[in-house]
Amino acid sequence: MASKITANRRGSSDFPQFKLLPRAEAKWRGKLVLLQGGSGEEDRFCTCAKKADDTYGWVEVVYESVI
């Protein structure tokens, strides 16, 4: 199964922002967050999803380009 979701991102919105992702758990399920890149690194969008074994993990949302 693929571990990335492909999407186009246009415009701006407010998302929770982190330098490090918090622990993946039910309260983050389905939420889109911005992982702030460090010096020389791009920002990334991630979402939390439940796995088949009922644990949670972060999935990177892949987009075409930053406008």
> Does position 55 have pLDDT exceeding 80, yes or no?
yes
Average pLDDT of every residue of the chain:
84
Tens digit of each residue's pLDDT (9 = 90 or more) over 29-39 = 999 999 999 99
**Domain assignment of residue 57, yes or no:** yes
Amino acid making up residue 59: V
**Domain assignment of residue 19, yes or no:** yes
> Does position 12 have pLDDT exceeding 70, yes or no?
no
Q: How many CB atoms lie within 10 A of CB 15?
A: 13
> Does position 2 have pLDDT exceeding 70, yes or no?
no
Domain that holds residue 10: 5-62
The DSSP string of 3-67 is S-EE----S-----EESSPPPP-GGGBT-EEEE---TT---EEEEEEE-TTS-EEEEEEE-S---
**Domain assignment of residue 67, yes or no:** no
**Domain assignment of residue 12, yes or no:** yes
Number of domains in the chain: 1
Whole-number percent of the chain with pLDDT over 90:
67
